[in-house]
Structures are given as C-alpha cells and as structure tokens.
C-alpha cells in the first residue's frame, strides 16, 4: 500500500512522515521548497498477528507493510494547466493521499498564506488537485476528438463516443469543484479512467495537526463532506518525538499525554477502511504471515495472493477465525472443536481469517 503525504509548504508534512515512520528526516521552520520525495516502509501494527506469533513462536514473521511518501509542498497555482511531471508522478503513484493540514498556532513557524486557517488550506490544496485533473481530462478529450475525425475510425467510433461522454461528465464535475471520488461511476467507467490516475479519484485522509492542543473531534475545526474521505486529528510534534523513542518509554509517554492509539495505528486503520482492504493470515511453526486483500475477495483470490500455484491448483481451503485458533491453541485443537471449516474457491474471506490452502499442481 502506498500513501502519499501532501499539503501546503511548511504544513508539517515531514513531521507527520517522521511520526508515522519513526524517521528522523529534517524538518525546518522555513519551507525547504526542495523537491525530494522521501519514502519509508512501515510494518502494520496488528494485535491479531501478535497473538498468532505468541502461539506459534515462528522464526519468521511477515507483517503487512505500508510505504509512505513525503512529497514536496503544493503551492497556490501549481495545478493550473496540470501539475508538473515530477510532482504529478510522485502524487499519482499512491493508492491513497494523506493531506496534512496545519491547525496549530506557532509564531515561529511561518505560513505561506500568512495566517492559520485549516478550512482555507484544505480548499486551496483541493483546488490544485481539481485543476490538475481537469488539465488531464481536457487533454484526453482533445485526443479522443482527434481520433474520431480520423478516416477509418468507424469501428472505434461508438467506443470513443462513450468515453467522450464520460470525460465531459468529469469536466462538469471538476469545474464545479466536485472530486471524481464523489461521482457514481460504474465499474466499466472506473476501468476506463483508471489509466489517467486522477488525483481527486483517490481516497483521501485529512490529518489536522493541532500541535500541543488535544482535539478529539476534527469536525470542530472543519467538515469534509466527501466520499471515501476521512478526517483525523494528530498532535504532530509530540507524536514525532514519541515515534523516536523505544517501546517502553513510548508507552509511558503515550499514557502521560493521554494518547490512546498512536497516530500510525489510527492512520493505518483508516487507510485499510478507505481502500476497502482487509487482512488474512497464514500461520505455523515456520512462519506467521499477514496478507492484504480487498474486502469481498474469495478463498481462491486469497490463495493467489500467497502464490499463483496455490490458486492454479486450488482444491480447498481450511479456514479458522484467528481468535478461535488462538483460543483453541493449535490447528488440531481448533479442528477438534469444530472451529476449522473446509471452504471452496468461492468462499468470501472474512477479516482475520487464518487459512491453509490444499492444492495440487
């Protein structure tokens, strides 16, 4: 899973990046203005996996991973005519966007728009994303129109007309400041536009950095009535410092600051939900492994995530809920207790299932 951290210059993107990754990338009170994408992998914290590890004590543990990308700040006017290639690529390659919004006061930290105004900043960055998408869609419209005029294009004409109608719908939406993620698109339409990597089609999390102030309810700062969007608050500086401590000191300080769930855990939980993803596990004495699949994926698809051979030669899957397995204490005991089920290829996986695939190739 790739998550791109975006926001205005000096909005505390790198601070949040450090908080999420335990990193020590340089932060500064003047905007670096540098275009250097830094990225880091984070292991997904998962108490279910921890319980399985405690049970099997395997030498190998494979946690799910998320990669965060800290991208240069977006500034007013940048999206006009389309974001430039380098920065567009850096944003477009992500599965979801994490928009860091400054919601803390600090006279030592200059703001590119002078005063602190989270709602305005959100609009400002959204506008640049909308403009960038608009430029892409308009270019595509020109290209499709040119294709339609070409001689011998009869066969493709019907297809082109369908695409053109969809593109014009997108233009109308973007011009009225509606992100693509808010539109009702059929799966065929989604497929048609997937290749354009539109930025406003991506799920987005707004992370409001409230500095030293503990704000539980982000809607007391601003509302964001969009689909596939989440709104969270974080005490950025504090969480960055916490992330750099060892586990023991961190637990102590978390309690002291009254932070029930660290920013990393919350952001990851919301990312899974936004992206419609869930986890399943394979477990044994040799390895405990967390795998990521879409909600609604079948046993066959889960098997294919592990290895294509398992999907090709799929016979059946033995499935048990992680909590039932942990409670039983072993696969054998879970089987005896009637908690392990034999499922076919069309079984719809549940979050937290542990599976053993029987296959033959």
Query: Hey, is 293 helix, strand or coil?
Result: strand
The answer to whether 236 contacts ligand GTP (rule: CB under 6 A) is yes
Among 1, 3, 12, 202, binds ligand GTP (CB under 6 A): 12
Residues 290 and 322: their CA atoms lie apart, in Å, by 11
Residues with Cβ within 8 Å of residue 23, at least 6 apart in sequence: 17, 38, 40, 243
The answer to whether 21 contacts ligand GTP (rule: CB under 6 A) is no
278 binds, among ligand GTP, Mg ion, none (CB under 5 to 8 A by kind): none
Candidates 5-13, 139-147, 193-201, 267-275; binding stretch for ligand GTP (CB under 6 A): 5-13
Q: How far is the CB of 233 from ligand GTP (least distance, A)?
A: 11
Query: Hey, is 27 helix, strand or coil?
Result: coil
The answer to whether 209 contacts ligand GTP (rule: CB under 6 A) is yes
The answer to whether 233 contacts ligand GTP (rule: CB under 6 A) is no
Residues with Cβ within 8 Å of residue 254, at least 6 apart in sequence: 242, 260, 262
Between 44 and 100, CB nearer to Mg ion: 100
Q: How far is the CB of 14 from Mg ion (least distance, A)?
A: 3
Would you give the end-to-end CA distance of the chain in angstroms?
Answer: 30
Residues 178 and 302: their CA atoms lie apart, in Å, by 35
The answer to whether 298 contacts ligand GTP (rule: CB under 6 A) is no
By C-alpha distance, which of 90, 59, 178, 187 is closest to 126?
Answer: 178
The answer to whether 218 contacts ligand GTP (rule: CB under 6 A) is no
236 binds, among Mg ion, ligand GTP, none (CB under 5 to 8 A by kind): ligand GTP
Q: How far is the CB of 46 from Mg ion (least distance, A)?
A: 29
Q: Where are the alpha helices (DSSP H) in 64-153?
A: 85-92, 118-149
Between 10 and 200, CB nearer to ligand GTP: 10
Between 12 and 298, CB nearer to ligand GTP: 12
Q: How far is the CB of 45 from ligand GTP (least distance, A)?
A: 22
Among 14, 21, 271, 282, binds ligand GTP (CB under 6 A): 14
Paired strand residues for 206: 99, 231
The answer to whether 107 contacts ligand GTP (rule: CB under 6 A) is no
Q: How far is the CB of 224 from ligand GTP (least distance, A)?
A: 20
Q: How far is the CB of 3 from ligand GTP (least distance, A)?
A: 15
Residues 116 and 121: their CA atoms lie apart, in Å, by 8
Residues with Cβ within 8 Å of residue 75, at least 6 apart in sequence: 8, 9, 112, 128
Q: How far is the CB of 266 from ligand GTP (least distance, A)?
A: 16
Residues 27 and 167: their CA atoms lie apart, in Å, by 41
CB-count burial class (<10 Å; 0-12, 13-18, 19+) for 180: buried
The answer to whether 211 contacts ligand GTP (rule: CB under 6 A) is yes
Which residues contribute to the site for ligand GTP (CB under 6 A)? 7, 9-15, 27-29, 31-32, 73, 104, 106, 109, 209, 211, 235-237
């Amino acid at each position: 899973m790739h998550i791109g951290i975006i926001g205005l210059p000096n909005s505390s993107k790198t601070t949040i990046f450090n908080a999420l990754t335990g990193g020590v990338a340089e932060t500064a009170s003047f905007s670096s203005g540098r275009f250097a994408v830094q990225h880091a992998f984070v292991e997904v914290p998962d108490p279910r996996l921890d319980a399985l590890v405690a049970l099997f004590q395997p030498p190998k543990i494979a946690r799910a991973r998320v990669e965060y990308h800290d991208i240069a700040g977006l500034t007013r006017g940048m999206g006009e005519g389309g974001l430039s290639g380098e920065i567009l690529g850096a944003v477009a390659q992500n599965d979801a966007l994490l928009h860091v919004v400054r919601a803390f006061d600090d006279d030592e930290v200059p703001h590119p728009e002078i005063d602190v105004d989270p709602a305005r900043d959100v609009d400002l960055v959204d506008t640049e994303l909308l403009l960038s998408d608009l430029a892409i869609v308009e270019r595509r419209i020109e290209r499709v129109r040119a294709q339609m005029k070409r001689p011998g294009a009869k066969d493709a004409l019907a297809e082109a007309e369908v695409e053109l109608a969809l593109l014009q719908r997108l233009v109308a939406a973007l011009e009225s400041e509606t992100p693509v993620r808010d539109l009702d698109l059929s799966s065929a339409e989604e497929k048609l536009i997937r290749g354009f990597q539109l930025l406003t089609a991506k799920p987005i999390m707004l992370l409001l950095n409230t500095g030293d102030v503990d704000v539980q309810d982000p809607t007391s700062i601003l509302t964001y009535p969009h689909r596939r969007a989440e709104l969270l608050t974080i005490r950025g500086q504090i969480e960055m410092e916490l992330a750099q401590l060892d586990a023991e000191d961190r637990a102590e300080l978390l309690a002291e600051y009254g932070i029930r769930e660290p920013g990393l855990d919350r952001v990851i939980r919301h990312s899974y939900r936004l992206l419609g993803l869930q986890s399943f596990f394979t477990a044994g004495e040799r390895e405990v492994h967390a795998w990521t699949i879409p909600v609604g994926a079948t046993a066959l698809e889960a098997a294919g995530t592990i290895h294509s051979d398992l999907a090709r030669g799929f016979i059946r899957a033995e499935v048990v809920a992680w909590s039932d397995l942990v409670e039983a204490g072993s696969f054998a005991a879970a089987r005896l207790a009637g908690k392990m089920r034999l499922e076919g290829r069309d079984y719809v996986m549940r979050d937290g299932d542990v599976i053993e695939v029987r296959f033959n190739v």
